[in-house]
Amino acid sequence: MTDFVTVYVAELTRRIKSRPFIIGLVIGAIGIFAFIQLPSLLGGAFGGNKQAIVVGDSALTTPAVPLLKGDFTIAATLAPTTVDIALLKAHHASSAIVLSRVGDRLHVAIFARDPGSVPRGEVRADLLPLQVQLAMHGSKSAVTSLLAIPVAIHPIDSKFSSSSQAQAVRGIAYTLIFFLYMLILLNSQLVMSAVAEEKTSRIAELLVASVDPIALLTGKIFAAATLALLQMAIWVGVGLVASMGAAGGADASPIALGGLFSGNLLSAWVLCAFVLFFICGFLQLSTLFAGVASLVNRTEDLGSLSAPLVLPVVGAFFLAISALGDPDAPWVVAASFVPIFSPFVMFARIAVSNVPVWQVAISLALNIAALIGIGILGGKLYRVGMLLYGRAPKFSQIWSVIRS
Amino acid sequence: MLQVDRIAKDFGNVHAVREVSFSIPRGSTFGLLGPNGAGKTTTMRMILGILTPDAGTISWSGERIDGKSRRRFGYLPEERGLYGKMKVREQIAYFAQLHRLREPKLTPAVQGWMERLGLSEYADRPCAELSKGNQQKVQVACACVHEPEFLILDEPFSGLDPVNADTLLAVFNEMKRAGTTLVLSSHQMWQLESLCDRFCIIAGGVNRVEGSLTELRAAWPTRVLRVTPRSERLAHILDALPNTQPVPGAQSTLEYVVRADADYASILQSLVQADAVTGFEAVEPSLHEIYLHAIGEGAAA
């Protein structure tokens, strides 16, 4: 245990001070911050100026303004006049919506600095009650109630109370699965590189003479897992701060992490599952990667040797993404019990559906059992592989090591 | 005492070590010699517990070697390696910690070994920036920083310039005086000859000879008799002796191979009666000669 702690602390200290970790952490944090802030920043700079003036008879503009307010900020309402750039500039508007009536039909002309930014369909939908009112000569309230068809959605065996909530959660789950995939793959590859470095720099023999190889391997892997969790915590923290800033600055911020918990979009159970399945997936993959890395004599060989291990993870990622749409499909349920796949697929199921606790427990138990098996296998490979120099071992030799 | 008893190790169809046995008294310095591929490194790895013997036993102070005893061992492998980006001080401290050295002993030990090996000025430089000789000294520091009671050095002098080799030789002599049990493997016989108390020559995975240099020499069947001046009368006497053979290529002296148990007193008497003798010496075999002879026997077998 002391060996493990020594290796763990040393690895943690070494890696936390390493340039790649710091650069990755900072770039990741900046990326997350920018990703969350971007919509409000872009909105202000490019497409967000939906300030408009409404021009026409007051009989038309008066009922039209409340209908347009959902999509435009109305800077002014003007009597019929000639629209030119000076008029737009005078009211700091990007467009002018000119309303006129020909018989019972409402005519709309929009003068815009950027015609491509005009939401034609939204304007049509906004003004539809006014068009109907003109055609039917009915009262505004009667027309509005006529057009408002009540559509009720009643969830059955769903963890969501509304379709918008379900959609939001799917979006969050997609993001989390992507995070899970990146964190597991990137950090496992870091462990692989570290093992290969020790092998190719020939320091391995000195290390295994000083400390038990299994303590060395587990110390290294757990240090990498800790750093990955730390990295994740920092990124989530940055995300929360950024989202709070974004929410405070612009009502229309599409991502508001601060409201995830209060909006029942992200539960502590989902977060707990995320951490648990991250740990399972990471430990499994990094142990396999470490075992494989111990067999290489040149770092250039890492890619070809690790490819067969990366492919199932990529497959698991896509399985999990499709599981978000149909979490109870038989093949999804089956995959959620298969180690290597289940950290992604079971997590996807947990995020978007009510998975029975016993299924989660079995999946975790299978993952732990697989981890023990992979640990024995990876440990054997590592123990022998670290001292194998010269020609790359043949598959038959690797197999005999595993069987021994 | 380290007791190695009939150990063997195979790698697939390759018999790396067939049957090797020797004992190393505590506090002694032991030279493990043999040609490339003789099984020296495999033997060392088995002693350290890096490899498990297929047969035979290894014990230290009468007990089987385990993780606890290994922490009191030090090892400098033949294949050199360091963490290139790690600073010298950190590297030595890491290996000290792996051997359970903690503060307040840790820092003085690291500092002390850097000073001892002339590494203090490089303490905060990454190891990759050091010369090969200095990197090797860092590795020696890593192997010794925890003051091991048993130290295995596989080719410690290879690739070193004479100054650095002398530095290491001085350090190993100091450790020897301090009571550390040392096992060395080297192809630089003269360095081993001056340092080691006992030797074991292995070839083809088996012991050829084992013992102190005195014992090995005593078992050597011949001596070279070196006589000066190189005169015809003296040569005539030596040619007439039974079981002698002139050494080809001798220039300024008369050199003859004689049996080790020859009667040197009567030979000297005969020579003195024949001519003026200014030099008479029965030259004992060097470790190099014993080594070549031992592995030659192995090859012949």
pLDDT by residue, tens only, chain A of 404 residues: 677 888 888 888 888 888 878 888 898 888 888 877 766 665 554 445 578 899 999 888 998 898 888 788 898 999 998 888 888 888 888 889 999 888 878 889 988 887 877 788 888 888 888 888 888 776 777 777 767 776 666 666 566 666 667 777 788 888 888 888 888 888 888 888 888 888 877 788 888 888 888 888 888 888 888 988 888 888 878 877 776 665 554 444 444 454 554 555 567 788 888 888 888 888 888 888 888 888 877 777 777 777 888 888 899 999 998 888 888 888 889 999 998 898 899 988 888 888 888 999 999 999 999 988 888 888 778 877 776 666 666 667 667 666 66
Task: Please answer yes or no on whether B79 and A6 come within 8 Å at the CB atom.
Answer: no
How many domains is chain A built from? 2
Residues 37-56 in B contacting A (C-alpha not used; CB under 8 Å)? 45, 48, 50-51
- Of B192, B216, B240, which one is at a domain's C-terminal end? B216
Backbone φ, ψ for residue B58 (5° rounding): -130, 130
Q: Please tell me whether residues A275 and A135 are part of one structural domain.
A: no
Question: A16 or B299: whose pLDDT is higher?
Answer: A16
Q: Which of B66, B92, B98 to mutate to test the interface with A (most CBs of A within 10 A)?
A: B98
Tally Cβ neighbours within 10 Å of residue B12. 9
Same domain? For B227 and B204 the reply is no
Residues A140 and A205 in one domain: no
A92 with A136, same domain: the answer is yes
When divided into structural domains, chain B yields a total of 2
Assess if residue B96 is contained within a domain.
yes
Q: Mark which of B201, B216, B231 sits at the end of a domain.
A: B216
What CATH number does the domain containing B260 carry? 3.30.70.920
Which residue out of A15, A203, A388 would a mutagenesis test of the B interface target, given it has the greatest number of B Cβ atoms within 10 Å? Answer: A203
Q: Is residue A238 part of a domain?
A: yes
* Contact between B51 and B9 (Cβ < 8 Å): yes
- CA-CA distance, A23 to B92, in Å (whole number)? 27
Q: How far is A202 from chain B (nearest CA, A)?
A: 4
Does residue B301 lie in a domain region? Answer: no
Residues A67 and A26 placed together within one structural domain of the fold: no
Residue A288 and residue A248 share a domain: yes
Q: Do A19 and A117 sit in the same domain of this protein?
A: no
Question: How large is the ipTM?
Answer: 0.75
Inter-chain contact A210–B75, Cβ cutoff 8 Å? Answer: yes
**Does residue B78 sit in the same domain as residue B187?**
yes
Same domain, A124 and A195: no
The alpha carbon of residue B235 is apart from the nearest alpha carbon of chain A, in Å, by 55
The whole-angstrom distance between B130's CA and the closest CA on chain A is: 15
Pairing of strands B245-246, B198-203: unpaired
Domain that holds residue A178: 2-40+162-403
Task: Report the gap between the CA of B77 and the closest CA in chain A (Å).
Answer: 7
- B132: distance to nearest CA of chain A, Å? 13
- Residues 247-266, chain B: which have Cβ within 8 Å of A? none
Of B51, B77, B84, the CB nearest to A206: B77
- Is B196 at the interface with chain A, CB within 8 A? no
* Cα–Cα nearest to A381, from A364, A404, A360: A404
DSSP string computed for A132-184: HHHHHT--HHHHHHHH--------SS-S-SSHHHHHHHHHHHHHHHHHHHHHH
Residue B197 sits in the same domain as residue B239: no
Q: How far apart are CA B277 and CA B228, in angstroms?
A: 6
- Closest CA–CA distance from residue B48 to any residue of chain A (Å): 6
Q: Contact A240/A257 with Cβ under 8 angstroms?
A: yes
Q: Do A201 and B81 touch (CB under 8 A)?
A: yes
Tell whether B161 and B236 lie within a shared domain: no
A210 interaction partners in chain B (CB closer than 8 Å): 70-71, 75, 95, 98-99
CATH of the domain at A69: 3.40.190
More confident residue, B289 or A137: B289
- Chosen for mutation from A16, A199, A206, A389 (greatest number of chain B CBs closer than 10 Å) is A206
Q: Are residues B146 and B14 in the same domain?
A: yes
Statement to judge: residues B152 and B83 lie in one domain: yes
* A316 and A273 fall within a common domain: yes
Whether B72 and chain A come into contact, CB under 8 Å, resolves to no
The answer as to whether B300 is a domain residue is no
B225 shares a domain with B199: no
Q: Which residue of A has its CA nearest to B74?
A: A210
Across the interface, whether the CB atoms of B98 and A7 are under 8 A apart is answered yes
Cβ–Cβ of B86/A14 closer than 8 Å? yes
pLDDT at B245: 87
- Same-domain status, B227 and B205: no
Q: Are residues B240 and B178 in the same domain?
A: no
Tens of pLDDT along A372-397? Answer: 888 888 877 887 777 666 666 666 76
- Rounded CA gap, B39 and B217, in Å? 24
Residue type, B257: V
Domain end: A147, A172, A204, which one? A147
Residues of B in contact with A208 (CB under 8 A): 50
Answer yes or no: is B256 within a domain: yes
CB contact under 8 A, B50 and A389: no
pTM of the complete model beyond 0.90: no
Contacting residues of A for B79, CB less than 8 Å apart: 202, 205, 389
Of A121, A147, A173, the domain-final residue: A147
My answer on whether A350 and A322 are in the same domain is yes
Burial A269-299 (b: 16+ CB within 10 A, else e): ebeebbebbbbbbbbbbbbbbbbbbbbbbee
Same domain, residue pair A33 and A55: no
Could you tell me if B270 and B128 lie in one domain? no
Q: Are residue B91 and residue B23 in the same domain, yes or no?
A: yes
Task: Using DSSP bridges, classify how beta strands B63-64 and B73-76 pair: parallel, antiparallel or unpaired.
Answer: unpaired
B chain contacts of residue A197, beta-carbon cutoff 8 Å: 83
Residue B295 lies in a domain: no
A316 found inside a domain: yes
B198: containing domain: 2-216
Bond into B229 cis (ω within 30):
yes
Domain limit, last residue, from A95, A112, A147: A147
Size of interface A-B (CB pairs under 8 A): 65
Instruction: Calculate the alpha carbon distances from B44 to A180, A209, B17, B33, B47 in Å.
Output: 44, 10, 11, 12, 5
Q: Are residues A210 and A269 in the same domain?
A: yes
* Residue B124 resides in a domain: yes
With beta carbons under 8 A apart, name residues in chain B contacting A207: 98
For position A132, what pLDDT does the model report? 85
Can you tell me whether residue B66 is helix, strand or coil?
coil
Asked whether residue B294 is domain-assigned, the answer is no
The SS3 call for residue A18 is coil
Inform me whether the C-beta atom of residue B143 falls under 8 Å from chain A C-beta atoms.
Answer: yes
For residue B185, being part of any structural domain is answered with yes
Answer yes or no: do B180 and B252 share one domain.
no
> Does residue A349 share a domain with residue A211?
yes
B126 burial type by CB count under 10 A (0-12 exposed, 13-18 middle, 19+ buried): middle
Contact criterion met (CB < 8 Å) for A7 and B82 = no
Contacts of A364 by beta carbon, 8 Å cutoff, 6+ apart: A276, A280
> What CATH number corresponds to the domain at position B52?
3.40.50.300
